[in-house]
Amino acid sequence: MISVKARPYDYTLDPGKTALVVIDMQRDFIEPGGFGDALGNDVSRLLAIIPDTAALIGLFRARGWPIVHTREAHRADLSDCPPSKIRRGSASVRIGEEGPMGRLLVTGEPGNQIVADLAPKDGEIVIDKPGKGMFWATGLHERLQDLGITHLVFAGVTTEVCVQTSMREANDRGYECLLIEEATESYFSEFKASTIEMIVAQGGIVGWVGKLGDLDAALAGAEETA
Ligand code: C5J
Protein backbone atom coordinates (compact mmCIF):
# COMPACT_ATOMS: atom_id res chain seq x y z
CA MET A 1 0.00 0.00 0.00
CA ILE A 2 1.19 3.52 -0.79
CA SER A 3 0.30 6.51 1.35
CA VAL A 4 -0.26 9.87 -0.41
CA LYS A 5 -0.47 13.22 1.38
CA ALA A 6 -4.03 14.45 0.79
CA ARG A 7 -7.04 16.11 2.36
CA PRO A 8 -8.84 15.47 4.68
CA TYR A 9 -6.11 12.95 5.62
CA ASP A 10 -3.59 10.77 3.82
CA TYR A 11 -4.96 8.60 1.00
CA THR A 12 -3.79 5.01 0.81
CA LEU A 13 -3.74 3.38 -2.59
CA ASP A 14 -3.26 -0.20 -3.55
CA PRO A 15 -0.82 -0.53 -6.49
CA GLY A 16 -2.24 -2.99 -8.98
CA LYS A 17 -5.79 -2.06 -7.98
CA THR A 18 -5.63 1.63 -8.91
CA ALA A 19 -6.82 3.25 -12.14
CA LEU A 20 -6.74 6.83 -13.40
CA VAL A 21 -9.95 8.38 -14.74
CA VAL A 22 -9.65 11.43 -17.00
CA ILE A 23 -13.06 13.01 -17.44
CA ASP A 24 -14.21 14.73 -20.66
CA MET A 25 -11.00 16.47 -21.78
CA GLN A 26 -12.70 16.90 -25.16
CA ARG A 27 -12.08 19.72 -27.62
CA ASP A 28 -15.56 21.22 -27.42
CA PHE A 29 -15.16 22.02 -23.71
CA ILE A 30 -11.51 23.03 -23.78
CA GLU A 31 -10.32 24.54 -27.04
CA PRO A 32 -10.86 28.08 -28.30
CA GLY A 33 -13.52 27.91 -31.02
CA GLY A 34 -15.35 25.05 -29.31
CA PHE A 35 -18.78 24.94 -27.69
CA GLY A 36 -17.61 26.11 -24.25
CA ASP A 37 -15.97 29.10 -25.90
CA ALA A 38 -19.09 29.81 -27.98
CA LEU A 39 -21.11 29.94 -24.76
CA GLY A 40 -18.87 32.77 -23.54
CA ASN A 41 -16.77 30.74 -21.09
CA ASP A 42 -13.10 31.46 -20.48
CA VAL A 43 -11.66 28.20 -21.82
CA SER A 44 -8.10 29.27 -20.99
CA ARG A 45 -8.81 28.12 -17.43
CA LEU A 46 -9.41 24.56 -18.73
CA LEU A 47 -6.59 24.67 -21.28
CA ALA A 48 -4.17 25.50 -18.46
CA ILE A 49 -4.54 22.09 -16.79
CA ILE A 50 -3.40 20.13 -19.85
CA PRO A 51 0.30 19.96 -18.86
CA ASP A 52 -0.43 18.74 -15.32
CA THR A 53 -3.04 16.29 -16.60
CA ALA A 54 -0.50 14.98 -19.12
CA ALA A 55 2.03 14.59 -16.31
CA LEU A 56 -0.53 12.66 -14.24
CA ILE A 57 -1.30 10.39 -17.19
CA GLY A 58 2.46 9.91 -17.56
CA LEU A 59 2.73 8.62 -13.97
CA PHE A 60 0.18 5.90 -14.74
CA ARG A 61 1.58 5.07 -18.18
CA ALA A 62 5.08 4.70 -16.73
CA ARG A 63 3.77 2.03 -14.34
CA GLY A 64 1.40 0.34 -16.79
CA TRP A 65 -1.57 1.11 -14.54
CA PRO A 66 -5.03 1.31 -16.16
CA ILE A 67 -6.24 4.62 -17.58
CA VAL A 68 -9.85 5.46 -18.42
CA HIS A 69 -10.70 8.42 -20.67
CA THR A 70 -14.31 9.56 -20.84
CA ARG A 71 -16.12 11.77 -23.34
CA GLU A 72 -19.58 13.23 -22.90
CA ALA A 73 -21.03 11.87 -26.14
CA HIS A 74 -24.28 10.77 -27.72
CA ARG A 75 -25.10 8.49 -30.63
CA ALA A 76 -25.62 10.25 -33.96
CA ASP A 77 -29.38 9.57 -33.80
CA LEU A 78 -29.47 10.96 -30.23
CA SER A 79 -31.40 7.87 -29.09
CA ASP A 80 -29.35 7.90 -25.87
CA CYS A 81 -30.05 11.57 -25.13
CA PRO A 82 -33.11 12.37 -23.04
CA PRO A 83 -35.24 15.12 -24.65
CA SER A 84 -35.00 17.02 -21.35
CA LYS A 85 -31.23 17.31 -21.83
CA ILE A 86 -31.70 18.75 -25.33
CA ARG A 87 -34.41 21.19 -24.23
CA ARG A 88 -32.55 22.52 -21.18
CA GLY A 89 -31.29 26.11 -21.16
CA SER A 90 -31.22 28.79 -23.81
CA ALA A 91 -28.11 27.88 -25.80
CA SER A 92 -28.07 29.01 -29.44
CA VAL A 93 -26.61 25.61 -30.39
CA ARG A 94 -28.13 22.51 -28.81
CA ILE A 95 -26.91 18.92 -28.48
CA GLY A 96 -26.83 17.27 -31.91
CA GLU A 97 -26.81 20.58 -33.78
CA GLU A 98 -23.91 21.82 -35.87
CA GLY A 99 -21.50 23.78 -33.69
CA PRO A 100 -18.10 25.35 -34.28
CA MET A 101 -16.47 21.87 -34.27
CA GLY A 102 -19.21 19.70 -35.74
CA ARG A 103 -22.36 18.29 -34.11
CA LEU A 104 -22.34 19.10 -30.44
CA LEU A 105 -21.70 16.16 -28.07
CA VAL A 106 -22.05 13.60 -30.87
CA THR A 107 -19.65 10.65 -31.07
CA GLY A 108 -17.01 10.92 -33.77
CA GLU A 109 -17.40 14.67 -34.36
CA PRO A 110 -14.20 16.76 -34.26
CA GLY A 111 -15.26 18.59 -31.09
CA ASN A 112 -15.96 15.32 -29.35
CA GLN A 113 -12.32 14.17 -29.61
CA ILE A 114 -10.01 14.31 -26.62
CA VAL A 115 -7.45 17.12 -26.98
CA ALA A 116 -4.36 15.99 -28.87
CA ASP A 117 -1.95 16.39 -25.93
CA LEU A 118 -4.00 13.94 -23.85
CA ALA A 119 -5.01 11.53 -26.62
CA PRO A 120 -5.63 7.97 -25.41
CA LYS A 121 -3.03 5.36 -26.32
CA ASP A 122 -3.76 1.83 -27.50
CA GLY A 123 -4.94 -0.33 -24.63
CA GLU A 124 -6.41 2.53 -22.61
CA ILE A 125 -10.15 2.46 -21.93
CA VAL A 126 -12.24 5.10 -23.73
CA ILE A 127 -15.83 5.54 -22.57
CA ASP A 128 -18.54 7.53 -24.34
CA LYS A 129 -20.95 8.53 -21.61
CA PRO A 130 -24.40 9.97 -22.32
CA GLY A 131 -24.73 11.43 -18.82
CA LYS A 132 -22.66 13.55 -16.50
CA GLY A 133 -21.64 10.51 -14.47
CA MET A 134 -19.29 7.88 -15.90
CA PHE A 135 -21.30 4.83 -14.83
CA TRP A 136 -24.72 5.63 -16.31
CA ALA A 137 -25.25 3.47 -19.45
CA THR A 138 -21.54 2.78 -19.96
CA GLY A 139 -20.76 -0.65 -18.46
CA LEU A 140 -17.66 0.89 -16.85
CA HIS A 141 -18.27 -0.53 -13.38
CA GLU A 142 -18.21 -4.08 -14.76
CA ARG A 143 -14.99 -3.38 -16.69
CA LEU A 144 -13.30 -1.96 -13.59
CA GLN A 145 -14.52 -4.92 -11.52
CA ASP A 146 -13.06 -7.32 -14.11
CA LEU A 147 -9.71 -5.54 -13.70
CA GLY A 148 -9.94 -5.78 -9.90
CA ILE A 149 -9.87 -2.00 -9.49
CA THR A 150 -10.72 -0.67 -6.03
CA HIS A 151 -9.04 2.77 -6.13
CA LEU A 152 -9.67 5.59 -8.63
CA VAL A 153 -7.61 8.73 -9.15
CA PHE A 154 -9.60 11.49 -10.87
CA ALA A 155 -8.76 14.31 -13.28
CA GLY A 156 -10.68 16.29 -15.89
CA VAL A 157 -13.47 18.77 -16.42
CA THR A 158 -15.58 20.29 -15.18
CA THR A 159 -14.86 19.85 -11.50
CA GLU A 160 -18.38 20.55 -10.28
CA VAL A 161 -20.30 18.75 -13.04
CA CYS A 162 -18.95 15.59 -14.68
CA VAL A 163 -15.97 15.10 -12.37
CA GLN A 164 -17.96 15.51 -9.18
CA THR A 165 -20.89 13.41 -10.45
CA SER A 166 -18.54 10.61 -11.51
CA MET A 167 -16.63 10.72 -8.24
CA ARG A 168 -19.84 10.58 -6.20
CA GLU A 169 -21.11 7.65 -8.28
CA ALA A 170 -17.77 5.87 -7.79
CA ASN A 171 -17.86 6.54 -4.05
CA ASP A 172 -21.33 4.99 -3.86
CA ARG A 173 -20.00 1.89 -5.64
CA GLY A 174 -17.27 1.46 -3.04
CA TYR A 175 -14.25 2.87 -4.88
CA GLU A 176 -11.69 4.85 -2.85
CA CYS A 177 -11.38 8.10 -4.82
CA LEU A 178 -8.66 10.75 -5.00
CA LEU A 179 -9.08 13.95 -7.04
CA ILE A 180 -5.87 15.64 -8.21
CA GLU A 181 -6.30 19.36 -7.69
CA GLU A 182 -4.06 20.66 -10.51
CA ALA A 183 -5.60 18.26 -13.04
CA THR A 184 -9.20 19.42 -12.73
CA GLU A 185 -10.85 22.74 -13.55
CA SER A 186 -14.08 24.62 -13.91
CA TYR A 187 -15.08 27.65 -15.95
CA PHE A 188 -15.87 29.14 -12.51
CA SER A 189 -13.05 29.25 -9.95
CA GLU A 190 -15.48 29.38 -7.05
CA PHE A 191 -17.23 26.20 -8.23
CA LYS A 192 -13.92 24.31 -8.28
CA ALA A 193 -13.05 25.53 -4.80
CA SER A 194 -16.50 24.69 -3.43
CA THR A 195 -16.48 21.21 -4.97
CA ILE A 196 -13.13 20.43 -3.38
CA GLU A 197 -14.44 21.52 0.00
CA MET A 198 -17.61 19.39 -0.47
CA ILE A 199 -15.54 16.30 -1.32
CA VAL A 200 -13.29 16.50 1.73
CA ALA A 201 -15.97 17.66 4.19
CA GLN A 202 -17.12 15.41 7.02
CA GLY A 203 -14.01 13.25 6.99
CA GLY A 204 -13.94 12.74 3.22
CA ILE A 205 -17.60 12.14 2.54
CA VAL A 206 -16.95 11.70 -1.20
CA GLY A 207 -13.20 10.98 -1.08
CA TRP A 208 -9.86 12.74 -1.00
CA VAL A 209 -8.22 15.67 -2.79
CA GLY A 210 -4.45 15.74 -3.30
CA LYS A 211 -1.66 17.47 -5.19
CA LEU A 212 0.09 16.05 -8.25
CA GLY A 213 3.54 16.52 -6.68
CA ASP A 214 2.50 14.59 -3.58
CA LEU A 215 1.20 11.67 -5.66
CA ASP A 216 4.40 11.69 -7.74
CA ALA A 217 6.57 11.76 -4.61
CA ALA A 218 4.60 8.97 -2.93
CA LEU A 219 4.84 6.69 -5.98
CA ALA A 220 8.55 7.38 -6.48
CA GLY A 221 9.25 6.95 -2.77
CA ALA A 222 7.46 3.60 -2.66
CA GLU A 223 9.54 2.35 -5.61
CA GLU A 224 12.82 3.46 -3.98
CA THR A 225 12.05 1.52 -0.80
CA ALA A 226 10.72 -1.57 -2.64
C1 C5J B 1 -20.66 19.63 -18.65
C2 C5J B 1 -18.81 18.22 -18.09
N3 C5J B 1 -20.27 20.61 -17.86
N4 C5J B 1 -17.93 17.43 -18.64
N5 C5J B 1 -19.90 18.54 -18.84
O6 C5J B 1 -21.72 19.71 -19.24
O7 C5J B 1 -18.64 18.67 -16.98
Would residue 129 show up in a list of annotated catalytic residues for this protein? yes
- For CA atoms 60, 61, 66, 69, the dihedral sign is positive
The tens digit of pLDDT for each residue in 129-182 reads 999 999 999 999 999 999 999 999 999 999 999 999 999 999 999 999 999 999
**Which of 17, 24, 28, 81 is an active site residue?**
24
Report how far Cα 112 is from the mean position of its chain's Cα atoms: 14
Q: How many CB atoms lie within 10 A of CB 146?
A: 8
The tens digit of pLDDT for each residue in 96-133 reads 999 999 999 999 999 999 999 999 999 999 999 999 99
Would residue 14 show up in a list of annotated catalytic residues for this protein? no
Give the three-class secondary structure for 108: coil
* Ligand 1 neighbourhood includes 186 CB (under 6 angstroms): no
Cα 160 from Cα 190, distance rounded (Å): 10
Closest of 220, 213, 221 to residue 6, by C-alpha: 213
Angle, CA 138 vertex, CA 81 and CA 83 arms, to 5°: 10
**Which of 28, 162, 177, 192 is an active site residue?**
162
Distance 5 CA to ligand 1 centre (A): 28
Q: How many CB atoms lie within 10 A of CB 64?
A: 9
Task: Report yes or no on whether pTM surpasses 0.95.
Answer: yes
Q: Does residue 138 have a cis bond before it (omega within 30 degrees)?
A: no
Residue 48: what residue type? A
